[in-house]
């Protein structure tokens, strides 16, 4: 037996705090359990009443003569610990604590919650909540509605977990209207003992749950979430509304990576994390339902070729536009299919894709056309668009298509552009009907998302590879810099660090003065690049701290003099001259021509820890902002996807006859970078920009790198 079974598959339930007052939460929970016809025993517990809701009540849990699997607790907060003790004496294994007033209220509540959790753990119980709306198991063998939500749920194959109780109520209401049913519905509350991850694991192999929906405000343990979700999404889709998209806020950032994250102000880390584990993130509850409808009522498509069957031109054009924008193909029909349609339809009908039947088509003709389209091997999914003419009922049309679609394992979605009354009638007369939408775009969005999810399922899992590295040397280098009180590594140290992880760097030499530069110049071939070194200098180009294509020693010395003045002047203008922004030396490098510039970076997200970035680099990075993010560790597949996802991928492939860069070598650099970030939590930010990439891996080199140190404990 699973430890959560007493909560979700009980044979007997005590409602502790079942109240005599109609309308109170305690009363509503009891009422729902009875109304939903729980297949087991229900015991109201209330010391002040003999009976509640016509049912014999007990003063305490221990006084109940029968065994009790789960207690739904609805007593005032201060009474909760004593009730839990009583439950333990009775041998109750599961608790659902609806009572609020815990960690959500502040410090005192947090302490109270901590004590409650300790008690629950000590007794070896499992608990949902506190501060939750309750739980539902709609399995016909169980039928437990232990919530106080007014709408009783329909039975279905969706597991839903919500961190917000109020939203849970709304979702249950809306789901009924949309004919969406649940296997489980769980209001998680404060997730004090049972987390979203625990519930995911519980549903992973649950035969009654095909689709998981989540409304979350926080992901408690992102690393564990990633491991679990990655596995589950390979056989069950997970769709999540993650609230709190904004709010990363501006944070101190001295790198492009950090600045891009802060400036976008978006929850990039969550996006990256969910993307990496195949979880479909939506922004709104509406989108959640749009997808829930499609996923719960259809198989996944086998490809992206869409057939559209309509009785009105305009909406079909809208659907076609949306489909193409979202990556679906509105293909040409086979000649056989077109000929078959021609026989069924009047001469003015269009038998290309979209197939426009004209408003005259009867429900039977519609169904016959749908059959022909579904029989066509060139079509992976079908979208029906129906604008009801006076004499034809949408219910009849949907019933006709429903009769046909079940014979095929292809998704069929419907758009019925009709009033709510028509949908009510449909729900009543045609329960379990196909996924229906009011407008074409949400239906197309759902189909395109299903297609993307199919890609995810078929995508290889990938592996996190370990490369030979000088880990200890890298660690010592960071510790030594910290011991010297440095916040940023010097450029030579940053280069050395990259070399420890096999990331190639440009041949370079360092000089503390112009005189020394003259000597060092012998080590580097011309043409060369000269860069100012100043510990606090962040954006060298803007400060006049970079000179390229230097061809002679004379040019070099002139450039160095000019650079000293420019960087000092820039420092004074920008911030008043601080010692850290005045140049302390020069870095001389070979000038790498003909390469393409990319950026590889890492910044720390306050919730998730390190976040990796890859994109087009050089001076364009902040203007073009063509970057992708991932949470480490990167698998080999992640690294390759990260590269493919940027808009500038074409540039790396080569335009106007240029050869492509060595993508394999670039992907390995990303994997090595990810390994370095994982090994060295002392780093707060790292940025390799630009990394020059070429058709030949041997030419790859980082020409600039910045490493900011964090606190000793890795913060
Ligand atoms: N054992 C059994 N029953 C008890 C009890 C105990 N130790 N202590 C009190 N009760 C009974 C009371 O007698 C009362 O029954 P009655 O109405 O028939 O007299 C019932 O439990 C409720 O107690 P009451 O003091 O009236 O509390 P309440 O109904 O005003 O509030 C909560 C109780 C749990 C609803 C309230 O504390 C709370 O937390 N509300 C917020 C819940 C919430 O929003 N949760 C999150 C949702 S997302």
Distance of CA 54 from the midpoint of ligand 1 (Å): 19
**494 burial via Cβ count (<10 Å: 0-12, 13-18, 19+):** buried
Tokens representing 401?
Answer: 């298509």
- Taking residues 503-507, report their average pLDDT: 93
The pLDDT tens digits of the residues spanning 161-172 come to 999 888 888 888
Helix-, strand-, coil-residue percentages of the chain, each rounded to 5: 40, 20, 40
Distance of CA 31 from the midpoint of ligand 1 (Å): 15
What is the residue-averaged pLDDT of the chain? 91
Query: Which residue, by CA, sits nearest to atom 41 of ligand 1?
Result: 100
Residue 173 has pLDDT above 70, yes or no: yes
The pLDDT tens digits of the residues spanning 116-158 come to 999 999 999 999 999 999 999 999 999 999 999 998 999 999 9
DSSP state of 434: P
CA dist., res. 118 & res. 125, Å (int): 10
Q: From 319, 218, 194, select the one nearest 273 (Cα to Cα).
A: 218
pLDDT of residue 252: 42
User: Do 197 and 225 meet the contact criterion of CB atoms below 8 Å apart?
Assistant: yes
Query: In whole angstroms, how far apart are CA 16 and each of 75, 80, 85, 282?
Result: 7, 10, 13, 37
The pLDDT tens digits of the residues spanning 330-345 come to 999 999 999 999 999 9
- Taking residues 178-199, report their average pLDDT: 94
Tokens representing 558?
Answer: 């002139």
User: Do 482 and 710 meet the contact criterion of CB atoms below 8 Å apart?
Assistant: no
- Taking residues 232-241, report their average pLDDT: 96
Residue 253 has pLDDT above 70, yes or no: no
The pLDDT tens digits of the residues spanning 467-499 come to 999 999 999 999 999 999 989 898 889 999 999
Of 253-257, 402-406, 708-712, give the range with the top mean pLDDT: 402-406
Distance of CA 24 from the midpoint of ligand 1 (Å): 8
Query: Which residue, by CA, sits nearest to atom 28 of ligand 1?
Result: 76
Query: Which residue, by CA, sits nearest to atom 19 of ligand 1?
Result: 19
Distance of CA 141 from the midpoint of ligand 1 (Å): 29
Query: For every residue of 76-90, which 3-state class applies, written as one string?
Result: CHHHHHHHHHHHHHH
Tokens representing 356?
Answer: 């426009």
Strand partners, 45: 16, 58
List, in sequence order, the alpha helices (H) in 41-179: 80-90, 107-122, 165-177
Burial 353-365 (b: 16+ CB within 10 A, else e): bbbbbbeebebeb
CB atoms within 10 A of CB 307: 26
Task: Give the percent of the chain with pLDDT over 90.
Answer: 72
The ligand 1 atom nearest the CA atom of 45: 2
Query: Which residue, by CA, sits nearest to atom 30 of ligand 1?
Result: 76
pLDDT of residue 490: 86
The pLDDT tens digits of the residues spanning 398-426 come to 999 999 999 999 999 999 999 889 999 99
Mutate to test the pocket of ligand 1, among 15, 21, 25, 127 (most ligand atoms within 8 A of CB): 25
- Taking residues 300-320, report their average pLDDT: 96
Query: In whole angstroms, how far apart are CA 58 and each of 35, 45, 81, 340, 529?
Result: 20, 5, 18, 71, 85
Ligand 1 binding site (Cβ under 6 Å of any ligand atom): 16-17, 19-21, 24-26, 45-49, 74-77, 79, 83, 98-101, 131-133, 165, 187
Query: Which residue, by CA, sits nearest to atom 12 of ligand 1?
Result: 17
> Hey, is 221 helix, strand or coil?
coil
The pLDDT tens digits of the residues spanning 200-215 come to 999 999 999 999 999 9
pLDDT of residue 264: 57
Distance of CA 685 from the midpoint of ligand 1 (Å): 50
- Taking residues 684-708, report their average pLDDT: 94
Query: Which residue, by CA, sits nearest to atom 21 of ligand 1?
Result: 17
Query: CA geometry: angle at 203 spanning 201 and 207, to 5°?
Result: 135
Distance of CA 153 from the midpoint of ligand 1 (Å): 24
> Hey, is 536 helix, strand or coil?
coil
- Taking residues 222-233, report their average pLDDT: 91
DSSP state of 58: B
pLDDT of residue 250: 34
DSSP secondary structure of 476-498: HHHHHHHHTT-SB--HHHHHHHH
State the pLDDT confidence band at 255, using cuts at 50, 70 and 90: low
Tokens representing 532?
Answer: 């100012």
């Amino acid at each position: 037996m699973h430890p959560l079974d007493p909560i979700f598959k009980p044979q007997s339930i005590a409602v502790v705090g079942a109240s005599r007052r109609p309308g109170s939460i305690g009363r509503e929970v009891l009422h729902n359990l009875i109304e939903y016809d729980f297949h087991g025993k229900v015991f109201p517990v209330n010391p002040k009443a003999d009976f509640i809701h016509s049912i014999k009540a007990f003063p305490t849990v221990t006084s109940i003569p029968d065994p009790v699997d789960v207690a739904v607790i609805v007593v005032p907060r201060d009474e909760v610990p004593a009730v839990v003790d009583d439950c333990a004496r009775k041998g109750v294994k599961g608790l659902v604590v609806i009572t609020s007033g815990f960690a959500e209220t502040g410090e005192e509540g947090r302490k109270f919650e901590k004590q409650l959790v300790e008690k629950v753990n000590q007794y070896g119980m499992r608990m949902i909540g506190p501060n939750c709306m309750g739980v539902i198991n709609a399995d016909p063998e169980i039928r437990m509605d232990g919530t106080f939500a007014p709408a009783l749920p329909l039975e279905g194959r969706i597991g839903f977990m919500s961190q917000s109780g109020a939203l849970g109520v709304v979702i249950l209401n809306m789901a009924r209207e949309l004919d969406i049913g649940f296997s489980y519905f769980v209001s998680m509350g404060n997730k004090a003992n049972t987390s979203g991850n625990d519930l995911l694991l519980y549903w992973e192999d649950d035969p009654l749950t095909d689709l998981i929906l989540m409304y979350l405000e926080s992901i408690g343990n992102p690393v564990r979430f990633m491991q679990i979700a990655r596995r589950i999404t390979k056989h069950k889709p997970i769709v999540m509304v993650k609230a709190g998209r904004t709010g990363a806020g501006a944070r101190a950032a001295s790198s492009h990576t950090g600045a891009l994250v802060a400036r976008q102000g978006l929850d990039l880390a969550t996006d990256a994390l969910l993307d990496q584990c195949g979880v479909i993130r939506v922004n709104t509850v509406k989108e959640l339902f749009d997808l829930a409808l499609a996923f719960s009522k259809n198989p996944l498509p086998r490809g992206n070729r869409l057939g559209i069957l309509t009785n009105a031109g305009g909406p079909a054009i809208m659907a076609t536009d949306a489909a193409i924008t979202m990556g679906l193909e509105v293909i040409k029909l086979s000649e056989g299919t077109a000929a078959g349609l021609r026989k069924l339809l009047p001469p003015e009908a269009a038998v290309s894709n979209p197939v426009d039947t004209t408003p005259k088509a009867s429900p039977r003709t519609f169904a016959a056309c749908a059959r022909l389209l579904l029989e066509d091997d060139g079509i992976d999914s079908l979208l029906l668009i129906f604008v009801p003419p006076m004499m034809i009922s949408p219910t009849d049309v949907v019933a006709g298509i429903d009769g046909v679609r079940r014979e095929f394992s292809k998704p069929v979605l419907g758009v019925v552009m009709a009033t709510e009354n028509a949908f009510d009638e449909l729900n009543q007369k045609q329960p379990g009907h196909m996924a229906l939408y009011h407008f074409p775009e949400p239906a197309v969005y759902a189909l395109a998302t299903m297609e993307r999810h199919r890609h995810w399922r078929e995508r290889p899992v990938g592996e996190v590879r370990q490369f030979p590295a000088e880990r200890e040397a890298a660690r010592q280098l960071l510790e030594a810099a910290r011991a010297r009180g440095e916040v940023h590594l010097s450029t030579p140290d940053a280069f050395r660090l990259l070399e420890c992880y096999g990331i190639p760097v440009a041949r370079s030499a360092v000089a503390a003065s112009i005189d020394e530069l003259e000597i060092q110049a012998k080590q580097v071939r011309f043409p060369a690049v000269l860069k100012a070194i100043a510990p606090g200098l962040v954006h060298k180009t803007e400060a006049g701290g970079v000179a390229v294509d230097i061809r002679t020693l004379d040019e070099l010395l002139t450039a160095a003099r000019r650079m000293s003045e420019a960087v000092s002047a820039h420092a004074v203008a920008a911030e008043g001259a601080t010692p850290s922004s005045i140049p302390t030396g020069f870095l001389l490098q070979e000038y790498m021509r003909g390469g393409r510039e990319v950026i590889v970076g890492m910044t720390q997200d306050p919730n998730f820890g390190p976040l990796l970035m890859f994109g087009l680099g050089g001076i364009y990075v902040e203007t073009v902002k063509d970057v992708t993010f991932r949470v480490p560790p990167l698998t080999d597949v992640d690294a390759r996807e990260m590269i493919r996802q940027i808009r500038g991928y074409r540039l790396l492939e080569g335009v106007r006859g240029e050869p492509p860069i060595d993508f394999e070598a670039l992907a390995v650099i990303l994997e090595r970078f990810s390994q370095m970030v994982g090994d060295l939590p002392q780093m707060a930010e790292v940025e390799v920009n630009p990394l020059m990439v070429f058709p030949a891996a041997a030419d790859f080199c980082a020409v600039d790198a910045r490493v900011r140190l964090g606190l000793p404990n890795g913060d």
